[in-house]
Amino acid sequence: MFYYPTQILFIITLILGTLITISSNSWFGAWMGLELNLLSFIPLLSNNDMLSSEAALKYFLTQALASVLLFFSMIMYLSNFKMGLGSSLSEMLILSMFSSALFLKLGAAPFHFWFPGVMEGISWLNGLILMTWQKLGPTVLLSYVISMNNFVFCVAVMSVIVGALGGINQTSLRKIMAYSSINHLGWITCGLLLSNSYWLSYFLFYCFLSFTIIYMFYALQLTQLNQVFSLSDHNNFNKIFLFCNFLSLGGLPPFVGFLPKWLIIQGLISSNLIFLSFLCVSFTLIVLFYYLRVFFPSILIITSMPKWQIRNGAWTWGMSLLSSLSLLGLPLFPMIYFIF
């Protein structure tokens, strides 16, 4: 949690930077918002331990590279436009460069090399911010310039594949969540190819489910896979809540996480992108496999009291409330269908 006034100040400027980005009417203003967001997030990442300092340095170097590439592509686009030298080929190359910079900021495949390492070295709360709020600004900018082309198509496919295959052999829960985020980013990119309503709906559901799971990881003090296996049997509701929320995040019906995936699949089929929808569904099954691999042993194996401290009281009520919302997917089906 954030305990100091300086951290609260950085949180405020972090939010302000993203709001400037999504509300700006110029690319330079949007770039300034991204930089304010970056400079506010770095002090939140860096703590007194070596892992968080290394993660903060990785994040800064990667985001700085993406910012330089983004600024360079903006200058190239404006210079070509003012001098009248633009052609369809040069415009496509500049837009690809612009999209690459934003995908690098998001951590989408094949620009994902920094994301699992940074997630491994930071706290759960900072990881939640990185997985959710930090994706909002670049995704909104992508929605302004994205178009149906082979580059964006490949990024969507590679994100779905890398996110599915990368999490299979992981023992760290932070890295499992990182590769899960990359997989969901592939789905969000598919939504960007359709319309703003698709990707925004998916993003909101994803933020809610990520918040629920990370809230439970923080409350139960879980960081490694073997700690999930060792959850005490004195409160089986913890295991059941975690199990249901992971199934919801994986998109298994009738949980609420199935709704955004169903909408994306429906949109892709309506747009004749049947092969892309087939790939997304196929590799989501792999994601569900390593989600089940996490929790099946913990449910079947009888364990003793854990050695680490589990937060009780209000944390347990919070887990119960958030997990109950993940079970409301089936009644929401007709409402979401008529909205779209």
Average pLDDT score over the chain: 84
So what's the pLDDT on residue 77? 81
Task: Say if residues 107 and 181 touch (Cβ distance below 8 Å).
Answer: yes
pLDDT digits (tens, 9 = 90+) for 49-66: 888 999 999 999 999 999
How far CA 99 is from CA of 163, 190, 223, 272, 295, in Å, comes to 20, 14, 33, 23, 37
The predicted-structure confidence for 111-126, as pLDDT tens digits, reads as follows 999 999 999 999 999 9
Provide the pLDDT for residue 308. Answer: 47
Contact 186, 280 (CB under 8 A): yes
pLDDT digits (tens, 9 = 90+) for 155-212: 999 999 999 999 888 889 999 999 999 999 999 999 999 989 999 999 999 999 999 8
Distance CA(334)–CA(138), nearest Å, equals: 31
Q: How far apart are CA 162 and CA 165, in angstroms?
A: 5
pLDDT of residue 304: 52
Give the predicted TM-score (pTM) of the model. 0.90
Contact (CB, 8 A) for 8 and 2: yes
- The two tokens of residue 23 are 């509300």
Would you say residue 298 has pLDDT above 70?
Answer: no
Partner residues linked to 104 by β-bridges: none
- Please spell the DSSP secondary structure of 275-306, one letter per residue: HHHHHHHHHHHHHHHHHHHHHHHHHHS-----
